[in-house]
Amino acid sequence: MAMKIKRNPTRSVRVGAIQIGGDAPIVVQSMAATKTQDIAATSRQVRLLEQAGADIVRIAVDSKKDVEALAEIRRGTDLPLSVDLQENYRLASLVAPHVDKLRYNPGHLHHHEKDKPIPEKVAFIARTAQEHDCAIRVGVNCGSVDPRMLERYEDQQQAIVASAVEHCEILDGLGFERYVVSLKDSDWQKVVAVNRLFAEQRPDVPLHLGVTEAGMPPDGVIKTRLAFEQLISQGVGDTVRVSLTVPFDDKGEEITAARDILRDIEAGRFRSVPPSFGEGLNIISCPSCSRVENNRFVELAQEVKLVTEYAQQYDITIAVMGCRVNGPGETDDADLGLWCGPAAVNLKRGEETIGYFGYDEVLSRLKDELDAIIATRAD
């Protein structure tokens, strides 16, 4: 039986011709995984996502050459586009003329111009967004929380929520209300917890939901579904992204999975999972993007899944990440981590780097490390 979901009374935020929040239907987004400077491939990826039903597409931009490519990609599509300002928030003034939304991560603002107060940096981004008719996403990631907040709060979830709330207050103080917030993690239960906490404090702010590094289908879709079910059925969430590790040509799966989940929630069809879901071997992997350092990443993630199948019953987390931007940090919390370089893969045990191994040799090294962990568990 269809259920009427009472959504939180969020503000309406315009992103190009799309409205997020207010009384608008939940907006579905994705991200191009191709190299941004490969204009033909990225334009094709944007078309593919549009054909699959994407409302907004994000593109990674890290350099002036990426910005030039972005301008060209912009000319080829009317779809609202968004970009991530990673550590370089000043890139905002170069990309804003070509996009409809700027995403910044409060946990990355301290990297450059360390003496400049954070509110000044936010003011620069807001002013730039205003001048170029862009919305903003304050994108908090549990793997890169603002260190000031981690010092202030013992509880990591409180630090995450406080960081998001602080940035809402800075933007509100500047008179800039055209923003949404996201609070993401690879653990779906943490995603539910932090989004609930945030929504209690700021029910007026539209939320972008997602489980980051959810991994490969079907598990990646199930984890995301569980988070969305818990939040959206309670009225929390205005736009969503399903992050899946799939080949570039299959990226439309992120959109179809999101639409299926939303349709099921709307119809009152909820997925039940066995109580043991989430126990045992947990492989998390990023959805890849323009920054991926070697196109063998997706294949590597799939191979990791295959060669570690024998360890299903052990509570071990393996993280597979595509690049140096998020790879080193996002693998810290995993028992074993792999992050891709151009010619070699960095293998880690917790925060410790074991070494750099060629794409052909890393899997056997991974198995050795996995066996060593299993042996300690058997003691």
Which stretches of the chain bind ligand SF4, using CB under 6 A?
286-289, 291-292, 321-323, 325-327
Q: How far is the CB of 242 from ligand SF4 (least distance, A)?
A: 13
Of 122 and 214, nearer to ligand SF4 (C-beta) is: 214
Q: How far is the CB of 321 from ligand SF4 (least distance, A)?
A: 4
Q: How far is the CB of 325 from ligand SF4 (least distance, A)?
A: 5
Of 26 and 323, nearer to ligand SF4 (C-beta) is: 323
Give the Cβ contact number of residue 263 at 10 Å. 10
Measure the CA–CA gap between 70 and 73, rounded to whole angstroms. Answer: 5
Q: How far is the CB of 194 from ligand SF4 (least distance, A)?
A: 19
Q: How far is the CB of 101 from ligand SF4 (least distance, A)?
A: 17
Peptide bond into 203 cis (omega under 30): no
C-beta nearest to ligand SF4: residue:
322
Q: How far is the CB of 338 from ligand SF4 (least distance, A)?
A: 11
Of 8 and 212, nearer to ligand SF4 (C-beta) is: 212
Of 166 and 187, nearer to ligand SF4 (C-beta) is: 187
Q: How far is the CB of 287 from ligand SF4 (least distance, A)?
A: 5
Of 258 and 289, nearer to ligand SF4 (C-beta) is: 289
Nearest to 286 by CA among 246, 240, 316, 255: 246
Geometric angle at alpha carbon 75, from 286 and 52, rounded to 5°: 45
Measure the CA–CA gap between 78 and 42, rounded to whole angstroms. Answer: 14
Give the Cβ contact number of residue 307 at 10 Å. 14
Q: How far is the CB of 323 from ligand SF4 (least distance, A)?
A: 3
Of 221 and 244, nearer to ligand SF4 (C-beta) is: 244
Of 13 and 340, nearer to ligand SF4 (C-beta) is: 340
Of 139 and 252, nearer to ligand SF4 (C-beta) is: 139
